[in-house]
């Protein structure tokens, strides 16, 4: 199986209580929020991994923890696993846009296989930034105010200003242009990276200067 990314998936009995515990008590940094603004699901940075706290548990607390695995082609995995694993739900598109299939391991632990399809929204305007996306595989489109779009590909990064400015919100919408794999870096991890590899800052400044020049050119052309 070709795993593009993974996370621990938690369906709590009380979403608000768990959200406040992981955010305020443990102090985990937020990677992204999604869903209803008044009761969002939250993905937290968990060291080099991720923890998603969302939805509500349908059964006993022990069954609320699942493994989330992003795959490149969920229908290919469905065909491959049909005779070898217990599939408890075939691939289906969720209301939030991801394609999910559910299987269980021999002990009954649920594993959610996920494909991120082209067109899926990664960042929304008005959403507070908390980290940096580095595109590892695939392409993304940034939709800026005024109708301007920017295409980003392998090795490029998105959301870098949120590492530099507290409370900054995104002004554009970021969509997957193809099935996509990204590396997420929190502000804390980014600071550690800069301490070890300060040359990263020089490379990022060059990209930021180029983007600023492009923005100026667009504004002057209007």
Q: Do 69 and 85 touch, CB atoms closer than 8 A?
A: no
Asked if pLDDT for residue 71 goes beyond 70, the answer is yes
- Residue 18 forms beta bridges with which residues? none
Supply the pLDDT for residue 1: 77
All domains of the chain in start order, with CATH:
3-115 (3.10.180.10), 121-221 (2.60.120.10)
User: How far from each other are the two terminal CA atoms of the chain, in whole angstroms?
Assistant: 49
What angle (nearest 5°) sits at the alpha carbon of residue 178, between those of residues 136 and 94? 105
Could you give the 3-state DSSP secondary structure of residue 74?
A: helix
Checking if the pLDDT of 63 tops 90, the result is no
For the residues 21-43, what does the mean pLDDT come to?
86
Tell the residue number behind the tokens 């970021």, with chain if given: 174
* CA 132 to each of CA 95, 123, 187, 211: distance values in angstroms, whole numbers, following the listed order: 25, 11, 8, 16
* 105-113 mean pLDDT: 84
Percent of the chain with pLDDT over 70: 93
The helix/strand/coil state of 186 is strand
Q: Answer for the pair 130, 29: CB distance below 8 angstroms, yes or no.
A: yes
Give residue for tokens 């992003």.
70
Using pLDDT thresholds of 50, 70 and 90, give the confidence band for residue 3: confident
List the beta bridge partners of residue 104: 86, 110
Q: What is the DSSP letter of 64?
A: G
Q: Extract the runs of DSSP E, i.e. beta strands, from the chain.
A: 3-10, 30-34, 41-46, 49-53, 65-71, 86-93, 99-104, 110-115, 121-123, 131-137, 140-143, 149-152, 157-158, 173-176, 181-186
3-state percent helix, strand, coil for the chain, nearest multiple of 5:
25, 35, 35
Q: Give the residue from 134, 110, 152 showing the smallest Cα distance to 193.
A: 134
């Amino acid at each position: 199986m070709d795993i593009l990314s993974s996370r621990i998936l938690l369906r709590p009995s009380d979403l608000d209580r768990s959200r406040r515990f992981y955010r305020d008590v443990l102090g985990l940094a937020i990677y992204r929020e999604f869903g209803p603004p008044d009761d969002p699901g939250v993905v937290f940075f968990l060291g080099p991994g991720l923890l998603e706290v969302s939805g509500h548990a349908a059964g006993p607390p022990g069954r609320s923890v699942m493994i989330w695995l992003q795959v490149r082609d969920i229908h290919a995995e469905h065909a491959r696993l049909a005779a070898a694993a217990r599939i408890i739900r075939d691939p289906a598109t969720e209301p939030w846009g991801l394609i999910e299939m559910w299987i269980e391991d021999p002990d009954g632990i649920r594993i959610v296989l996920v494909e991120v399809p082209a067109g899926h929204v990664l960042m929304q305007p008005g959403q507070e930034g908390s980290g940096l996306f580095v595109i590892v595989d695939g392409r993304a489109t940034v939709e800026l105010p005024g109708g301007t779009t920017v295409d980003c590909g392998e090795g490029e990064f998105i959301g870098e200003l949120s590492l530099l400015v507290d409370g900054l919100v995104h002004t554009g919408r970021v969509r997957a242009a193809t099935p996509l794999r990204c590396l997420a870096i929190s502000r804390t991890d980014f600071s550690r990276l800069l301490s070890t590899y300060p040359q990263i800052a020089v490379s990022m400044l060059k990209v930021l200067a180029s983007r600023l020049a492009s923005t100026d050119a667009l504004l002057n052309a209007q």
